[in-house]
Structure 1
Amino acid sequence: MSETVRPDGRHSWWIYQGTGRPLGDIDLMELLPPAPPWRVFDGEPPREAGPVPEDDRETDRRLGAARHLAARLVDPHEVEMVNAALYLRRPLLVTGQPGSGKSSLAYRIARELRLGRVLRWPIGSRTTVKDGLYGYDAIGRAQAAGARLSAAGDRTGAADEPPIGEFVRLGPLGTAFLPRRLPRVLLIDELDKSEADLPNDLLSLFEDGEFDIFELVRVRSRTPSVEVFTADPDGTARIAKGRVRCCAFPIVVITSNGERDFPPAFLRRCLRYETKEPDAEQLAAIVAAHALTSPETSRLIDEFLNRRRAVGGLPSDKLLDTIYLATSGAYRPDDESWPRVVDALWRQLNSPAR
């Protein structure tokens, strides 16, 4: 891996640059070296696999419509960690304050590397690995079978069962591990909200790159290939012998607000990056990306930074909310109610309402 630095300050081994500027017509696999031998997976991408669907609306909502950032605004450590994760085919654990841009990183990677729609798996206190892998609607299939018998007037029970694949849907986690030539971007959002077992339960999937759909394994002798639904809109995939085996390991971005510690075995399999709160110039770029302009922008950014320092941190989206109100005509900065509105928006997240 070369350590050469180009005239613009970028390292020659960087594929992801952090600016959000798309690669253009360059194929990612032409830039990315082969996986380490211990991270090679042998899933076979189907020949008929089409391109990954885009989701520009969600990406623009997260990042703004601006297509790229100035290179000077990019955190070099972020770029280093993303590229290391790309090279090593390892998940990236991103920690930091709420609102510091952790989940947005997944959308920047997908936009820049032209990898299509981000698969987002939000984590709650009762989330299990199976929730992310797939769901099987056994009740729905039984009801459909009963309806077929009734419609056919079949009293013997000999009518064909409805295809099992119509009642299996892969979740975001399962869809990310479908065999494809190019990796999918998977966002596992707020893993620290999970129960203690979930990080450990992910280990075998991250190591093996495959999982079984047990309902399809049971019927593989009769139905060796089954078409199921995926987490993409109107998406389907064909599963052979009940097993999903990845080809290109997905680009996995795992976010955490630091509310709990993770097991050492889990941390050993991840690369780690801690986000920094954006400075004045970066905040101005975030505001501009969302097409918000106001004569008050500079002043509000300065006031926001002062409040953030005073309370120990504030989400950047609170600044966007404030500038939107200032530009929408709902409030004017010289209205007597304006300071109360700003105070309510910029209150520390864990402070009680007054």
Structure 2
Amino acid sequence: MNDWRIYRGVGQPHDGMLRLPAPPPWRDFAAARDGEEAGPEDPSSARRLGVRRRMVENYAPRPAEVDAVNAALYLRRPLLVTGNPGTGKSTLAYAIAHELGLGKVLRWPIVSRTGLQDGLYRYDAIGRLQDVQLERARGAEGATAAPGIGSYIRLGPLGTALLPAARPRVLLIDELDKSDLDLPNDLLNTLEEGEFSIPELERLADREPVVEVLTHDGDRVPVHGGRIACTAFPVIVLTSNGERDFPAPLLRRCIQLELDPPGEEQLTAMVEAHLGADGVSAGSDLIRRFLEREPGEVLAADQLLNALFLTRHDPRAQSLTRERIAEMLMQPLDRTR
């Protein structure tokens, strides 16, 4: 193949999509892959940690990172991880779940409109009302009973993480600094007590002491008396890009970890986990460019991975095209435009 391009900008339809290669491993959203054993592990951990992650299991992360994770595990406290974009903050949650066999990571992405209620549970009151009205309109003849209230309640990621269980779940609360001013304070009581109530079920507790609801995973679980209280405190990883300060009461309840940009050993291990040893050797110049960037210049590791993956599909390894692609994909994130 002399031309790696699929889209050519010629304005004429063609069948170039048939030549599109497999996606990068970190953008492969297929749940099952050849060579992946069946089991409870989160399928997305392969995307996060690398399909060849077992090649680098002997690589030791920084001692401060290991100590902070263990402190959070021992003390049953959330881990607040800060650092520049692309330093592996979110990936840490998947690494913990993978190594400790804690199953699928519960992910709660935070945006400016996110409230505590979104993380705990959702009650579809409108859907329930519509079903009741429809049931009444049908009349008694041949009608089936409307579903119970539990069919209209779905636990959020935080609510699911707090379900009683013998082993804790891993909960990733991603980019907490994107939230409004209230959410960090609203989280305090739930994180401290490890429980919460569902008022809609508490009001029915005398008549329906046990109600089955949906979890964030889509399973059905019983809720007793309208309250959920954890028996094993979840492994909670909160991430922040350092864009805001958090209230002291939240910081007091968390183990804090500042992640530095990856060094040469970590970066090489990351590339090998995703692209293999060939990817490391073929992209040594780009790895060196990443490591020799200007002091204070912010580059994310996934930018390097994108550049390494795409330039491998340019058959002219030393061409201007390769240089142009690398320059396009490795723009400093803090550069003003």
TM-score by length of 2: 0.83
Identify the residue that residue 270 of structure 1 maps to in structure 2: 254
Of 184, 194, 216, the match for 2:201: 216
Which residue number in structure 2 is paired with residue 172 of structure 1? 157
Aligned mates of 1:138, 1:255 — CA distance in 2: 32
1:247 equivalent in alignment to 2:234: no
State the alpha-carbon separation in 2 of the partners of residues 224 and 98 from structure 1: 46
TM superposition shift of 1:145: 1.5
SS at match of 1:290: helix
Question: For 1:77-103, what per-residue CA distance to the aligned partner results, in whole angstroms no more than 9, with x for missing partners?
Answer: 111111111111000100011000000
- What are the superposed Cα offsets for residues 166-205 of structure 1, whole Å, 9 maximum, x if unpaired? 0100000100000101111000000011111111111101
CA-based RMSD: 1.9
Deviation at 1:219, TM superposition (A): 1.2
Runs of 5+ consecutive residues of structure 1 not aligned to the other structure:
1-52
Alignment partners' CA distance in 2, 1:78 and 1:123: 23
Q: How many residues align?
A: 295
Q: Judge conservation of contact 1:95–1:274 (CA < 8 Å) in 2.
A: yes
* Alignment partner of 1:78 is 2:65: yes
Aligned to 1:333: 317
> 1:59 aligned to 29, 41, 45, which one?
45
1:345 & 1:352 partners in 2: Cα distance?
A: 16
| Matched letter for residue 183 of structure 1 | P
Q: Deviations 1:98-144 (Å, cap 9, x if unpaired)? A: 00000000000000000000000000111100000000101111111
1:184 lines up with 2:169 in the alignment: yes
Q: Which residue in the other structure is 1:343 paired with?
A: 327
Amino acid at match of 1:267: L
1:231 pairs with 2:195: no
Mapped to 1, the partners of 2:319 and 2:151 lie a distance apart of: 58
Q: Is it true that 1:299 corresponds to 2:279 in the alignment?
A: no
The residue identity in structure 2 corresponding to 1:252 is I
Q: Which residue of 1 aligns with 2:36?
A: none
- 1:201 maps to what in 2? 186
In structure 2, what residue type is equivalent to 1:301? I
Equivalent residue number for residue 99 of structure 2: 112
Structure 2 distance, partners of 1:272, 1:248, is 21
Q: CA deviation at 1:310?
A: 4.8
Determine if contact 2:42/2:105 at 8 Å carries over to the other structure.
no
Taking the TM superposition and a 5 Å limit, the aligned residue runs for 1:137-176 are: 137-153=124-140, 160-176=145-161
User: CA separation in 2, counterparts of 1:225 and 1:272?
Assistant: 38
Letter in 1 for 2:47: R
CA distance in 2, matches of 1:103, 1:63: 10
Deviations 1:212-262 (A, max 9, x none): 011111111111110000011x31110011100110000000000000000
SS of the aligned residue for 1:277 comes to coil
CA displacement 1:300-351 (0-9 Å, x = unmatched): 21011122x3562210001100110122x24643222322221121111132
Residue 151 of structure 1, CA deviation: 3.1
Q: Residue 77 of structure 2 corresponds to which residue in structure 1?
A: 90
Q: Which amino acid aligns with 2:267?
A: L
